[in-house]
Amino acid sequence: IIFSFVCMSVCVYTFMLMMQRWGLNTYLYGPKDDLKHRLLWREVYSPEEEVQLRTLILEAQSRGLRFVYALSPGQDIVFSSACDLTLLKRKLRQVSDLGCQAFAVLFDDIDHSMCQADSEVFSSFAHAQVNVTNEIYRFLGEPPVFLFCPTEYCGSLCSPSVSKSPYLQTVGEDLLPNITVIWTGSKVISRKLSVECLAEVESVLQRPPLIWDNLHANDYDSRRLFLGPFKGREPQLRRHLRGLLLNPNCEFEANYIPLHTLGSWYRVGKEEQKVANALDECEECDYCPDRALSTALHDWMEELNQPLQAGEKHFDLVLCLYLLKEEREGRDGERKRLNPPSQANYQAPPSGGSRGQKTQGRVICSGKGLLSESQVRLLVGLHYLPHEHGPSAQKLLQDLTWLKSNCHLVSANTKKTPPQKVDEWRGRASRFLSLCEDIAQLHCSVVGGANRAVLYDLYPYVWDLRNTALMAKAFICWLGCGKTTGADLLGVESEPWVFKGGVSGEVQMLLPIGSSSELFSHPPPLFPTSRLYNIRPYHSKDKVYDICESLYSYSSGRTQGGQESSMAHPDIIGDRCLGPCLALCPEYSFILEDELGVCGCVLGILDVRSFAKRCQATWIPAMKDKYPPKGAYFDDLIQLMEEDQGEYPDSLLYHFPSQLRLDALPELVDISVSRTLLTALLNALKANGSQGVFCEVQPTDRQRLEFLTKLGFLEILRGEARSREGVVLGRLL
């Protein structure tokens, strides 16, 4: 088995030790962050770069690993140019002099067209590539390992088909027989590989191919990670290949299970060869992905809970792996480093009077704890394989789909629903909410875990799924309140795998506003926090007035009259900011809570026109009774409450009939939680038929203006165009 690690400037000693442990035997060097591998392939390495490369070569050899140097000249090489050929030879001779004895020339992912000079010399693009490859192979002394990656490297790229491709026919006929050809299968990312599916390409190439397996490669989707086992490849393939290359995740810590199970797969293949004539023993040699996964999980648990700091065994790179005899490059992954939180920069959200030391039934997550095996299985199941979700992800998606499709069972508009049907919906909802809570706890455990290297590699993915689960949980809780009219619950219909994002992306697309990518695609915070959050519909028992007063006083730019108001009457701020919505349309109010209790909320109005009429008819009279004239302040209070409701032109309300109220939106270190809270409300408004929503913000509140702008809100009205000085921003749903 060959494992290729794509890295130039970092220590890979621990990694090579892991390769030894699992029986991998080849390291392929082809990082895209080494510009002299692809973009500047004509340039030789400097003396300092030579030292780095020689060190990698010697380290690999000291551990019994074959070092393969890969070069990708295909983007701009002139095949007929003697100068380019000389530069290519010079570059590979330099690497050869450093001790490298195995090479790969890659022509993947390039344009098929030839320049005028090449067209005059070569009859086809394939002839040009083959001619240069054969020349280089001979120049290097026909090394025992020499790989060639064709431009048509999988069945879906072959024109018109694998068996009839003139390109592949030329490669098979003219490429020297000892040069190995790389192949990825029927697709760039093949779900399955079998002996039968390789027979056709072997016939055309006139040699067994080397499989470049992208099963665990995640460089094409920044929201996906693949922690599942090596699967869908028959161990019998080994006898029909020159090798198998695995191109794994960009994140080093994510590849423990893929590599561990690949080693198991390869060892089974070797055993099958030994007992090929002993049929009674073959059953013992069968490769079982689930069994291999359990073994890998058991071994990984020990590493996951080791107090390892980032940098001790952490690499900015991409890896590849090859089985048997040869291999190809890997893909580079440039990732953001996450920094531990600084107390100087951290500002905890203010705590209101209703916040206790912890919320009932929930444990405060802090310190460095241990990931349990059930949590690791959940993590793997949620980030399984590109064509297959693990059990936990399947359950999450199936339950969400069913609950949404059957929400009419608990709708207030549905009469005489059989009790058993209601119980079924609520039971399934309870299981779904429990799984969402497990995902939130997983996020907490990863952030608070002892192994910081795992945190830095896996955090963006766990954080993304945590936010999506929070949103889905809030949506199901809202459906359970029976307030939906069923106007727009379908979301976006798509076949699996056609959109990015993995489980997070599929959950997103099941939500009413799932097609609004700007609400979901954001970078993770620089300061990971292990605080547990929950988003849910408002309950009448929630003491949000206290939180509103605290936030109102805490937030700069929204404190005018705050102290005077609270001294005059404790409910004034709450009645002005929250009261009308909580009294007249509580079904569009969502609560954010952490371990200490309620810490914020966001309010919505489905139909501003009808809300304004109800407010004048019921709310304002109630406030006149509650705050009878007692002086200058109370004399103006009712007038202020009336002005708070605002008067908006029909041209605005025609396109944006709904409104957001953000007076109690908290300011958090992880702003994604506030964004998720707001998105939960947008889901509810969209589900009940709203086509657009607006929000009024003070022009001096730059933080909130920026927050809404990043969520797709655009300025519609400004103060000079109306009687109020606020800026109105809106977005369509």
Most confident option among 121-135, 475-489, 498-512, 563-577: 121-135
> Cβ distance 465 to 392 under 8 Å?
no
Comparing 478 with 335, which gets the higher pLDDT? 478
Q: Tell me what the mean pLDDT of segment 124-152 comes to.
A: 97
Alpha carbon 465 to its chain centroid, in Å, reads 7
Rg of the chain in Å (alpha carbons): 31
> Which residues have C-beta within 8 Å of that of residue 329, sequence separation ≥ 6?
4, 6, 28, 29, 30, 31, 37, 70, 72, 104, 106, 149, 320
Q: Tell me what the mean pLDDT of segment 507-528 comes to.
A: 87
pLDDT value at position 32? 74
The answer, yes or no, to whether the previous bond of 341 is cis (omega within 30 of 0) is: no
pLDDT value at position 286? 83
Mean per-residue pLDDT of the chain: 82
Return left, alpha or beta for 514; rule: phi > 0 is left, psi -120 to 50 is alpha, else beta.
alpha
On the 0-12 / 13-18 / 19+ scale of CB atoms within 10 A, 553 is middle
Say if residue 160's pLDDT is above 70: yes
pLDDT value at position 693? 96
Q: How far is CA 162 from CA 12, 152, 202, 237, 649, in A?
A: 38, 9, 10, 19, 63
pLDDT value at position 200? 93
Confidence tier at 633 by pLDDT (50, 70, 90) = low
pLDDT value at position 521? 81
Per-residue model confidence as pLDDT tens digits over 3-20: 444 433 344 677 778 888
Angle separating helix axes 419-448 and 391-405, nearest 10 degrees = 140
* Nearest Cα to Cα of residue 238 among 148, 328, 323: 323
* Nearest Cα to Cα of residue 328 among 104, 176, 168: 104
Here the tokens at position 700 are 């001096």
Q: How far is CA 638 from CA 52, 245, 659, in A?
A: 75, 73, 21
pLDDT value at position 551? 64
Comparing 231 with 308, which gets the higher pLDDT? 231
Q: What whole-number distance in Å separates Cα of residue 14 and Cα of residue 307?
A: 16
Here the tokens at position 581 are 């919505």
pLDDT value at position 643? 73
Say if residue 354's pLDDT is above 70: no
Confidence tier at 494 by pLDDT (50, 70, 90) = very low
Per-residue model confidence as pLDDT tens digits over 537-564: 999 888 888 777 666 654 434 444 444 5
Say if residue 396's pLDDT is above 60: yes
Say if residue 350's pLDDT is above 70: no
By mean pLDDT, which of 111-125, 475-489, 492-506, 611-625 is the weakest?
Answer: 492-506
Q: What whole-number distance in Å separates Cα of residue 403 and Cα of residue 100?
A: 59
**Has 109 been annotated as catalytic?**
yes
What single DSSP character describes residue 193? B
pLDDT value at position 724? 65
> Cβ distance 653 to 606 under 8 Å?
no
Per-residue model confidence as pLDDT tens digits over 674-695: 999 999 999 999 999 999 999 9
Comparing 587 with 546, which gets the higher pLDDT? 587
Say if residue 58's pLDDT is above 50: yes
Say if residue 414's pLDDT is above 80: no
Say if residue 355's pLDDT is above 70: no
Per-residue model confidence as pLDDT tens digits over 421-473: 999 999 999 999 999 999 999 999 999 888 888 888 999 999 999 999 999 99
Here the tokens at position 568 are 């005059």
Torsion angles phi and psi, residue 324, rounded to 5: 95, -85
Catalytic residue among 97, 109, 290, 423: 109
Q: What whole-number distance in Å separates Cα of residue 672 and Cα of residue 309?
A: 26
Q: Tell me what the mean pLDDT of segment 198-211 comes to.
A: 95
Q: Which residues partner with 324 through β-bridges?
A: 243
pLDDT value at position 252? 85
3-state secondary structure of 117: helix
Confidence tier at 588 by pLDDT (50, 70, 90) = very high
On the 0-12 / 13-18 / 19+ scale of CB atoms within 10 A, 295 is middle
Comparing 594 with 431, which gets the higher pLDDT? 431
Comparing 145 with 495, which gets the higher pLDDT? 145
Confidence tier at 272 by pLDDT (50, 70, 90) = low
pLDDT value at position 486? 55
> Cβ distance 253 to 453 under 8 Å?
yes
Q: What whole-number distance in Å separates Cα of residue 579 and Cα of residue 388?
A: 48
Say if residue 270's pLDDT is above 90: no
Torsion angles phi and psi, residue 281, rounded to 5: -100, -10
H/E segment holding residue 345: none
Confidence tier at 295 by pLDDT (50, 70, 90) = very high
By mean pLDDT, which of 138-152, 353-367, 661-675 is the weakest?
Answer: 353-367
Say if residue 166's pLDDT is above 70: yes
> Cβ distance 45 to 88 under 8 Å?
no
* Nearest Cα to Cα of residue 238 among 285, 169, 301: 285
Q: Tell me what the mean pLDDT of segment 144-151 comes to.
A: 97
Confidence tier at 81 by pLDDT (50, 70, 90) = very high
pLDDT exceeding 90 applies to what percent of the chain?
A: 52
Say if residue 481's pLDDT is above 50: yes
pLDDT value at position 87? 97
pLDDT value at position 308? 65
pLDDT exceeding 70 applies to what percent of the chain?
A: 81
Q: Tell me what the mean pLDDT of segment 231-252 comes to.
A: 88
> Cβ distance 285 to 272 under 8 Å?
yes
Confidence tier at 276 by pLDDT (50, 70, 90) = low
Within a 10 A sphere around the Cβ of 477, how many other Cβ atoms?
Answer: 20
Q: Which domains does the chain have, with CATH numbers?
A: 2-283+312-324 (3.20.20.80), 366-531 (1.20.58.240)
Q: Which residues partner with 251 through β-bridges?
A: 316
Q: Tell me what the mean pLDDT of segment 702-725 comes to.
A: 81
> Cβ distance 376 to 382 under 8 Å?
no
